Chain A
Amino acid sequence: MTTEIEVSLYVLVLAVPLGLELVRKVSPLLHTPLMSLTNAISAISVVGAILVAGTGNSPGLSKVLATIAVMFATINIVAGFLITDRMLKMFRKKDGGGK
Chain B
Amino acid sequence: MNDSFWQASYIVAALSVVLSIKWLSSPATARRGVRSGEIGMLFAVIGTLLRHEVVSYQWIAIAFAGGAVIGAPLAFLMPMTSVPQLTALSHAFGALAAALVGTAEYYKDVATGNPTTGFKMVALVIESLLGYLTTTASVMAFGKLQEIVPTRPMTYKGQNVVNLILFAIAMALGVWMIVEPTPIWVFPAFTSLSLLFGILLILPIGGGDMPTVIALLNSYAGAACAAMGFALENRLLIIAGALNASSGFILSVIMCNAMNRSFTNVLFGAFGQAQTGAAAQVSAKPVHSATPEDAASILASARKVIVVPGYGMAVAQAQHKLRELTDILSKRGIQVDFAIHPVAGRMPGHMNVLLAEADIPYDRLHEMEDINPDFAEADVALVIGANDVVNPAARHDKTSPIYGMPILDVDKAQTVMVIKRSMNPGFAGIDNELYYMDRTLMLFGDAKGFVGEIVKELAANK
Question: Which A residues are within 8 Å of any B CB, using their own CB?
Answer: 4-5, 7-8, 11-12, 15-16, 18-20, 22-59, 61-63, 65-95, 97, 99
CB distance from B384 to the nearest CB of A (A): 19
Q: How many residues of B contact A (CB 8 A)?
A: 114
Instruction: List, in ascending order, chain B residues with CB within 8 A of A25's CB.
Output: 22, 25
Residue in B30, B76, B108, B365 whose beta carbon sits within 8 Å of that of A86 in the complex: B76
Closest 9 CB pairs of A and B: A74-B67, A31-B349, A78-B71, A19-B246, A82-B75, A15-B242, A54-B54, A42-B244, A31-B348
Instruction: List, in ascending order, chain A residues with CB within 8 A of B423's CB.
Output: none
Query: Is the Cβ of B218 less than 8 Å from the Cβ of A38?
Result: yes
Tell me the nearest residue of chain B to A42, going by C-beta. B244
Query: Is the Cβ of A29 less than 8 Å from the Cβ of B352?
Result: yes
B148 within 8 A of A: no
Query: Is the Cβ of A67 less than 8 Å from the Cβ of B94?
Result: no
Query: Is the Cβ of A72 less than 8 Å from the Cβ of B96?
Result: yes
Which secondary structure characterizes the binding site on chain B?
Answer: helix
Query: Is the Cβ of A54 less than 8 Å from the Cβ of B361?
Result: no
Tell me the nearest residue of chain A to B229, going by C-beta. A8
Query: Is the Cβ of A52 less than 8 Å from the Cβ of B108?
Result: yes
Tell me the nearest residue of chain A to B33, going by C-beta. A37
Count how many pairs of residues, one from A and one from B, have CB atoms less than 8 Å apart in the complex.
379
B313 within 8 A of A: no
B236 within 8 A of A: yes
Query: Is the Cβ of A42 less than 8 Å from the Cβ of B225?
Result: yes
Instruction: List, in ascending order, chain A residues with CB within 8 A of B27's CB.
Output: 27, 29-30, 88, 91, 93
Query: Is the Cβ of B22 less than 8 Å from the Cβ of A54?
Result: no
CB distance from A91 to the nearest CB of B (A): 5
Contact A50 B75, CB 8 Å, known A19-B247, A43-B97: no
Contact pattern, B 18-54, Cβ under 8 Å of A = 1, otherwise 0: 1011101111001101100110110011001101011
Contact A39 B105, CB 8 Å, known A46-B97, A71-B63, A88-B30: no
Residue in B86, B242, B362 whose beta carbon sits within 8 Å of that of A83 in the complex: B86
Query: Is the Cβ of B361 less than 8 Å from the Cβ of A38?
Result: no
CA distance A83 to B82 in the complex (A): 12
Tell me the nearest residue of chain A to B108, going by C-beta. A62
Query: Is the Cβ of A79 less than 8 Å from the Cβ of B48?
Result: no
Instruction: List, in ascending order, chain B residues with CB within 8 A of A32's CB.
Output: 83, 87, 347-350, 352-353
